[in-house]
Amino acid sequence: MNQNPFRYFKTSPEIIQLAVMMYVRFPLSLRNVEDLLHERGIDICHETVRHWVDRFGTYFAHKIRRRRSEAMRQSPQWRWHLDEVLVKIRGQTHYLWRAVDHEGEVLESFVTKTRDKASALRFVRKAMKRYGNPKVVVTDRCHSYRAAMKEIWNARRQECGRHLNNRAENSHLPFRRRERAMSRFRRMRSLQKFASTHSSVYNHFNHQRNIESRARFKSLRDAALFEWRELLAA
């Protein structure tokens, strides 16, 4: 029997879940979340919000990711888009690798200090282990991808070309907005932890309102919020 992860906390799990969602989903600072909760009659410190996000962000993200990976393994994987973006941590260059599916949902986030074949290989293997093997992998012209794909005998599935990887490059934008609100990161572990959490929560609530009707979007939004609240009972 699984133990209740909230058993040592006096605050109700619903309030903790709300604070985590507000901080991860929206480009808000810890003090912004503190002020918004205060308007709802919830008096907490911004450091409490930080502790909740650090403790339960990965908890909720893991549940979302587990449900999604199980569903994706049962359906064909048509096309993945792989890309990496430069992130500064205390003045040092790190790389955030991302795998995005054909619908624009972030599958995997992986942080490394280098952009060589070994890093690309670890990233690709991690994504394929969780979600299966795609039919096509779209990348930029970084040589690390080609070397990694040859290593796992998938070079013939790789596609490169101008503008082909815009979907992966656009997936960095929500994270970049969130990064600015957080005044960047101070540790590689913190970046990896938050990138994984943010991608899962973003996928859960992202419904591409620009291509859906208003009624359809409201229905999807309500369903996502209901599933989010159901994570406490799962």
Across 51-60, 115-124, 147-156, least confident range: 147-156
**Residue-wise burial string across 18-31, b where 16 or more C-beta atoms lie within 10 A, e elsewhere:** bbbbbbbbeebebe
What CA–CA distance (Å, rounded) separates 224 from 112? Answer: 32
Quote the pLDDT of residue 76. 64
76-197: CATH topology: Nucleotidyltransferase; domain 5 (3.30.420)
| Residue 69 pLDDT level (bands cut at 50, 70, 90) | confident
DSSP-based three-state secondary structure for 42: coil
Most confident of 37-41, 67-71, 143-147: 37-41
Give the per-residue pLDDT at 130.
Answer: 86
For the chain, what is the mean pLDDT?
Answer: 89
What confidence score (pLDDT) does residue 8 get? 87
When pLDDT is averaged across residues 142-170 and rounded to a whole number, the result is 84
Separation CA 106–CA 83 (nearest Å): 11
Q: Taking residues 121-127, report their average pLDDT.
A: 92
- Structure-derived torsion over alpha carbons of residues 67, 73, 78, 84, reported in degrees to the nearest 10: 60
Q: What pLDDT sits at residue 160?
A: 87
In the predicted model, what is the mean pLDDT of residues 121-148? 89
The stretch 161-174 carries a mean pLDDT of 84
* Confidence label for 98 from pLDDT (cuts 50, 70 and 90): very high
DSSP 124-151: HHHHHHHH---SEEEE-S-HHHHHHHHH
Q: Which of 31-45, 90-104, 173-187 has the lowest mean pLDDT?
A: 173-187
Residue 115's pLDDT is what? 93
Q: Is the pLDDT of residue 77 over 70?
A: no
- What does the alpha-carbon distance between residue 158 and residue 79 come to, in Å, rounded to a whole number? 10
Domain-wise residue ranges, the chain: 1-74, 76-197
Grade residue 67 by pLDDT with cuts at 50, 70 and 90. Answer: confident
Q: Assign 1 a pLDDT band (cuts: 50, 70, 90).
A: low
Mode of pairing for the β-strands spanning 136-139 and 158-160: parallel
